Amino acid sequence: MTTSSTDAVVSIGWLVDRLDEVQKDDPSIRLLEVDIDPSNYEHEHIPGASKVDWRTDLQDPTTFDVPSEAAFEEFLGGFGIRPDSTVVIYGDMMNWFAAHAYWLFTYYGHADVRLLDGGRDFWGERDAPLTTKVPEFTSQSYVVDENQLDIRADRPDVMDAIERETALVDVRTPEEYRGEILAPPGWNEGVQRGGHIPGARNIPWNQVVESTGCFKPEDELRSMYEEHGIDADADVITYCRIGERSALTWFVLHEVLGYEDVRNYYGSWVEWGNTVGAPIEKGQRAAIKRE
């Protein structure tokens, strides 16, 4: 397991020590599970965890944009979360959608949100406690105080980035990046064109984690990005297919490594690949040569 210097990442041991606390009807700490397959929660989950369905809770089902501020407030309040609550998030697939939820919480300015290192699978492999009991918590009043809209990039920002020194990081698989496939098997949202945004570097999302799903050591992560010409002073935009895998890379760059100018392109390839006139490249980009 990685030892992180940031409070944004918590270990299994950290959460085990607080399991009694997270199961109480006390809004000081809340635990959320966000899975690719939301039905995993019904099979078993960490005691005290509430289920988040990314399809209905983390996006507007009509616009496919982030939920409105009012919807976000209702969502959090319904889970018994207050603005001063510590919120710990975890999920399957090495925290794909858990990181997406973390990004959304940060976008709407929630002050204390954490990601469980290794996620659901690592927790289960360590024989940590699991249950099928669904917790019930008293609803709270939640009001967004100050959001952080500057962690999001939209299509005009990306168009501008192509002409500037902004580092575009495509975190999809090499096959998606080269335009050989439109999406991973079973995940096609109707994209019309394959390829990548001109100038984007392909650094797949899974390169930031060990086989356990825990984050790699910070010095290793920093070296990996520097080999691609991305250092702490870089202006970075991450993207994937629908913004969930790129949220994990955003988390590593912004929260773990502390890079300040990192944005997640929320529309990602589903928007870009379907936009008439949006420039696209195919094939493999030449490697960055370091001096």
**Identified catalytic residue from 221, 240, 242, 257:** 240
Neighbours of 144 (CB within 10 A): 15
> C-alpha distances in angstroms, 220 versus 2, 209, 215, 238, 257?
11, 10, 10, 19, 11
Q: Which residues of 96-120 are buried (b: 16+ CB within 10 A; e: fewer)?
A: bbbbbbbbbbbbbebeebbbbbbbb
240 among known catalytic residues: yes
Longest CA span, the chain: 58
**Are 87 and 112 in contact, with CB atoms under 8 Å apart?**
yes
Report which residue type is found at 23.
Answer: Q
Name which of 236, 214, 213 is nearest 165 in CA terms.
Answer: 236
Count CA atoms within 13 Å of residue 267 on its CB side. Answer: 15
- Cα distance between residue 276 and residue 279, in whole Å: 9
Neighbours of 33 (CB within 10 A): 25
> C-alpha distances in angstroms, 263 versus 96, 193, 218, 268?
17, 24, 20, 12
Active site residues: 240
